[in-house]
Amino acid sequence: MNHLKRLTSAGTETLPKDQSVSVVTSRIRCVTIERVAIMTIVTSRDVQEIVEKLSSDKAKTREEAIRLLNTWLEGERSYNFCKFIGLSTAKLRPDEVPHSKVYTYAETWPFLISLLIKSASAEISSSKRRNPKMIYAKTLRIVVQRAEDGKCSGKMLPLSSVVKPLFNHVWDVLSNVPSFQSEYGVILRHLLSVRDYSFQMRKRIYGNLVFLYIEKVEASLNEKNISICTSKEEVFRYILTLHSLLKYPPGDYPDNVREDIVKGFVRICSFIREEGKIPRKLVECINTYLLNDGPNLGSQLFEIHNAMQQFVCRSWLTTHDRVLKDSLVFYARIQLNLMRGAADRCLLVEQLLDMICKDLDQGSMSSTSMLRGDGNKDDKLGALSSSQCGLVELAAVLFYRFLMVCLRGFNKNKEAKMVWECVVYCSALACLNTTRASLNDKRVKREPAAVILREALMKGKWLWNAAFCFLTRNYHSRICKELFLYWFEGICMSFDRILNSANVDRTYNGLLWTL
């Protein structure tokens, strides 16, 4: 300590030559923090002053209290203040609701927040002809965040006793005070992320908030609403809050909420025009909702997919946004697992299989080449990125599902069928429409999936071989062995050519996955 005091004194003493500037700076900072901490000891009197002013009937006095509270919540003073309030809050019983100015209650997070709610409501009521002052919303947001900060809080779930009225207040403000949208949106997302808090939200309030944010997102994306000028950042925050609401519902989704969410997504999807973080977050919203409530949607799953189809097809092969692509792959996996109707599932498989085949072709064209004597790339050859891994896993699922549709008519108890019989049967059922076209439309014929896969394997396309490996590993016991013989026969017929091509082009991904 004496050494540190010498470092911070008037400075006649010379520093040791071997002592780095960074070490000296850090020691000076430690001394500064220590001195500030000594100067900012929090007492009950300090807190009582804030409480008394916040409880005043005069708007000017309440505003003084807000500003005083902010001085305690900023900088180095914040830690000691929050620690003091946190320790007082920890003394409350779990079911105890602070309701008086007695110091044992007043010096707690729940009581401070209840006073801030009243102050913000009073400010809103008194500002009919002007926007309410932002300091009220900002202060409430900071207090909620500080109360939940694990470094300062002395109790788990310190806001349990006040979270219900806080949710009610947040709904009232978000639905009526546009200027407070940003700060209160942060408060809502923060509360929702704590599962014990989200369960305490009334379902009526939850439904109202979901409808509110669906309407906000829809109105912001609709180009016809010229009167509504919303920045992309603000739209993104709306979607961010909607995602939190869908991720943390207070239990099961009510039936009326479920129907409106689906209709909202259908409308919103029609406005998605370009890539970026807004469509990316919207796809994440839909994925989250499908994960939480998908098993209860039934035919509504295909309503969502019909709305998503155009964007998915347009972005799948052209996007350079890996996060968006991964979200689309995940969306396809979820829909495949959830759809129960045979016709809808078959149509979905057909649509996705077309895109997957093109995607595997595109991905196989980018292969790692290796110069002679370059051993540094040995461990990279044939390695799948996380995105490629998700793609080939989806491809394996699609091939399996499509083969099962085609081979449904085969009787497992009879003798094994010749592979050509399997292929002919696949071909007969493979010519399905990619969309529900009218009877006058011509049907687009395509080769059966078994034949497409064999041809790609014979060409040594590495992502196709990777997908085939996943298909073999995951579904070998569910696919007739004649089909595997058919595929492996094709590989054997082309193996010499695949080997020679790898040596000539110095691209070994296809060969490695073939092996």
pLDDT tens-place string over residues 425-466 = 454 444 434 333 443 444 445 567 788 888 887 887 778 888
Which among 246, 190, 182 has a CA at the least distance from the CA of 214? 246
Q: Quick one: pLDDT at residue 444?
A: 46
The three-class DSSP label of residue 118 is helix
- What mean pLDDT comes out for the span 367-376? 43
Q: Are 486 and 450 in contact (CB under 8 A)?
A: yes
23-37, 82-96, 201-215, 271-285: least confidently modelled range = 23-37
Percent of the chain residues topping a pLDDT of 90: 37
Q: Which amino acid is at 128?
A: K
Query: Can you tell me the distance from the alpha carbon of 107 to that of 130, in angstroms, rounded to the nearest whole number?
Result: 33
Q: Which amino acid is at 362?
A: Q
- For the chain, the distance separating the N- and C-terminal CA atoms, rounded to the nearest angstrom, is 68
Q: Quick one: pLDDT at residue 280?
A: 94
The three-class DSSP label of residue 282 is helix
Average predicted confidence (pLDDT) for the chain: 79
Long-range contact pairs involving 338-344 (C-beta distance under 8 Å, separation at least 24) = 338/290, 338/294, 338/295, 338/297, 338/301, 339/301, 339/302, 340/298, 341/299, 341/302, 344/299, 344/301, 344/302
The set of residues, in sequence order, having a beta carbon less than 8 Å from that of 277 and lying 6+ positions away, is 236
Tokens of 509: 């991904």
Residue, of 34 and 122, whose pLDDT is higher: 122
pLDDT at 96 over 80: no
Q: Write the burial class of residue 435 (CB in 10 Å: 0-12 exposed, 13-18 middle, 19+ buried).
A: exposed
Tell me if 416 is assigned to some domain.
Answer: yes
Q: Quick one: pLDDT at residue 327?
A: 94
Tell me if 179 is assigned to some domain.
Answer: no
Q: Are 382 and 509 in contact (CB under 8 A)?
A: yes
Q: Quick one: pLDDT at residue 483?
A: 83
pLDDT at 157 over 60: yes
Query: Which residue segment(s) compose the domain that 429 sits in?
Result: 341-366+383-436+443-515
Label each residue of 362-423 as H, E or C: HHHHCCCECCCCCHHHHHHCCCCCHHHHHHHHHHHHHHHHHHHHHCCCCCCCCCCCCHHHHH
Q: Are 54 and 65 in contact (CB under 8 A)?
A: yes
Highest averaged pLDDT of the listed ranges 71-75, 148-152, 499-503:
71-75
Q: Quick one: pLDDT at residue 254?
A: 82
Q: Quick one: pLDDT at residue 4?
A: 42
Tell me if 355 is assigned to some domain.
Answer: yes
Tell me if 490 is assigned to some domain.
Answer: yes
- What mean pLDDT comes out for the span 336-352? 82
Q: Quick one: pLDDT at residue 345?
A: 78
Tell me if 296 is assigned to some domain.
Answer: no
- What mean pLDDT comes out for the span 329-353? 85
Q: Which amino acid is at 228?
A: I
Q: Quick one: pLDDT at residue 7?
A: 41
Tell me if 238 is assigned to some domain.
Answer: no
Query: Can you tell me the distance from the alpha carbon of 124 to that of 173, in angstroms, rounded to the nearest whole number?
Result: 9
Q: Quick one: pLDDT at residue 406?
A: 63
pLDDT band at residue 9 using 50, 70 and 90 as cut-offs = very low
The set of residues, in sequence order, having a beta carbon less than 8 Å from that of 53 and lying 6+ positions away, is 61, 62, 64, 65, 68
Query: Can you tell me the distance from the alpha carbon of 96 to that of 98, in angstroms, rounded to the nearest whole number?
Result: 6
Residue range 273-304, pLDDT digits in tens = 788 899 999 999 999 999 999 999 988 999 99
Residue range 382-409, pLDDT digits in tens = 567 888 888 889 988 998 888 776 665 4
Q: Quick one: pLDDT at residue 442?
A: 43
Residue range 463-480, pLDDT digits in tens = 888 888 888 888 888 888
Q: Are 258 and 211 in contact (CB under 8 A)?
A: no
Number of domains forming the structure of the chain: 2
Q: Quick one: pLDDT at residue 401?
A: 85
pLDDT at 413 over 50: no
pTM for the model stands at 0.80
Percent of the chain residues topping a pLDDT of 70: 71
Residue range 487-505, pLDDT digits in tens = 888 778 876 676 666 554 4
Tell me if 29 is assigned to some domain.
Answer: yes
Residue range 204-255, pLDDT digits in tens = 999 999 999 999 999 988 877 655 667 889 999 999 999 999 999 998 888 8
Residue, of 10 and 334, whose pLDDT is higher: 334
Per-residue b/e over 361-397, b at no fewer than 16 CB within 10 Å?
eebbeebeebeeeeeeeeeebbebeeebebbbbbbbb
Q: Quick one: pLDDT at residue 256?
A: 82
CA 443 vs CA 197, 231, 433, 477: distances in Å = 54, 45, 6, 33
Tell me if 245 is assigned to some domain.
Answer: no
